[in-house]
């Protein structure tokens, strides 16, 4: 019989502080991202990864053949706000450990959840074009960060996340959705920036700022590239007037249509960590 999993230990790990070095904070502040090793154990990733994977395949509605999909659809299966679908997934998304790291990196007193999303790049799945996440978010402050958590070791042939270092101040491309156009324009516009494109070890995660440009390669392996993400924002973040249809949809869906200029403090955006 398989060994019984002690979930108490796993939950404790998710809520135990992680010491973020001053060097890691300085790197994030300058380069717009940071990769951190040994943030989560193999046991936590396996247990919660199985739950997340089951939810992805239960909730996924994208079933058309790869050759019939758009560039965006070929990039990944995308399932959002798993924390509202399953209590075990909620334990993972609400991890104080992961939220504390986000607050430390941004220099914030605390962080709220914007939303979570699973991003599963299927075998033969295409590239994720260059983009900056905050294009989609009607938020006033750049104090936003996404954690990218591979649920398996992610070698180069699986399409790990790649970062254009220090590109968080670039104005070009801030009005582009994830598309062939964003890939073409930013491939030329970002040549002056160093590209960090390296594998992820098991337990290694990355944090990247909302305006940092990033992409991912195609999944050339025979296995799905399973990734869970959470988007955090400064707990004192303010909502701005939506600037495009995507921000309008986000305002209604993830921010509960809270008033422009207000702090997004509806039940959809709980504080996950506060000092």
Q: Percent of the chain beyond pLDDT 70?
A: 96
pLDDT tens for residues 128-146? 999 999 999 999 999 999 9
- The neighbour count for residue 87, using CB atoms within 10 Å, is 8
Residue 3 is predicted with a pLDDT of: 54
pLDDT tens for residues 203-220? 999 999 999 999 999 999
Mean pLDDT over the full length of the chain: 94
Residue 274 is predicted with a pLDDT of: 98
Instruction: Please tell me the distance from the alpha carbon of residue 88 to that of residue 187, in angstroms, as a whole number.
Output: 39
pLDDT tens for residues 172-183? 889 988 888 999
Q: How many domains is the chain partitioned into structurally?
A: 1
Residue 7 pLDDT greater than 60, yes or no: yes
pLDDT tens for residues 74-104? 777 899 999 999 999 999 999 999 999 999 9
The answer to whether residue 123 is domain-embedded is yes
The answer to whether residue 79 is domain-embedded is yes
The answer to whether residue 147 is domain-embedded is yes
- Confidence category of residue 165, pLDDT binned at 50, 70, 90: very high
Residue 2 is predicted with a pLDDT of: 44
The answer to whether residue 152 is domain-embedded is yes
Average pLDDT estimate for 23-50: 98
The answer to whether residue 97 is domain-embedded is yes
CB neighbour list of residue 172: distance below 8 Å, 6 or more residues apart: 185, 186, 189
The answer to whether residue 1 is domain-embedded is no
> Could you tell me which residues are beta bridge partners of residue 223?
none
Torsion sign over Cα 245, 246, 250, 251: negative
Instruction: Please tell me the distance from the alpha carbon of residue 179 to that of residue 129, in angstroms, as a whole number.
Output: 6
CB-facing half-sphere around the CA of 55: CA atoms within 13 A: 25
Phi-psi region of 52 (alpha: psi -120 to 50; beta: other; left: phi over 0): alpha
Token pair belonging to 45: 């990733």
CATH code of residue 244: 2.60.120.620
The answer to whether residue 272 is domain-embedded is no
Instruction: Please tell me the distance from the alpha carbon of residue 11 to that of residue 123, in angstroms, as a whole number.
Output: 31
- Structural domain boundaries, residue 50: 7-266
Instruction: Please tell me the distance from the alpha carbon of residue 174 to that of residue 46, in angstroms, as a whole number.
Output: 36
Residue 63 is predicted with a pLDDT of: 77
Check if the beta carbon of residue 178 is closer than 8 Å to that of residue 128: yes
Check if the beta carbon of residue 160 is closer than 8 Å to that of residue 127: no
The answer to whether residue 274 is domain-embedded is no
């Amino acid at each position: 019989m398989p060994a019984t999993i002690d979930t108490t230990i796993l939950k404790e790990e998710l809520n135990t502080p992680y010491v973020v070095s001053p060097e890691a904070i300085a790197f994030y502040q300058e380069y717009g991202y940071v990769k951190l090793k040994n943030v989560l154990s193999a046991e936590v990733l396996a247990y919660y990864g199985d739950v997340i994977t089951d939810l992805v395949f239960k909730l996924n509605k994208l079933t058309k053949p790869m050759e019939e999909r758009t560039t965006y659809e070929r990039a990944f299966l995308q399932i959002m706000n798993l924390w509202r679908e399953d209590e075990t997934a909620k334990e993972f998304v609400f991890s104080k450990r992961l939220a504390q790291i986000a607050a430390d990196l941004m220099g914030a007193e605390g962080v709220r959840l914007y939303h979570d999303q699973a991003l599963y790049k299927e075998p033969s799945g295409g590239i994720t074009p260059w983009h900056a996440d905050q294009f989609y978010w009607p938020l006033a402050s750049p104090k936003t960060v996404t954690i990218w958590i591979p649920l398996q070791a992610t070698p180069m042939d699986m399409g790990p996340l790649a970062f254009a270092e220090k590109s968080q101040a670039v104005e070009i491309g801030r009005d582009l959705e994830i598309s062939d156009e964003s890939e073409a324009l930013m491939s030329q516009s970002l040549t002056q920036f160093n590209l960090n494109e390296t594998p992820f070890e098991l337990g290694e995660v990355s944090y990247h700022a909302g305006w940092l440009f990033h992409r991912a390669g195609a999944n050339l392996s025979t296995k799905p590239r399973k990734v869970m993400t959470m988007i955090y924002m400064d707990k004192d973040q303010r909502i701005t007037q939506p600037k495009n249809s995507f921000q309008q949809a986000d305002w209604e869906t993830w921010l509960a249509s809270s008033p422009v200029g207000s702090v997004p403090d509806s039940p959809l955006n709980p504080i996950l960590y506060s000092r």
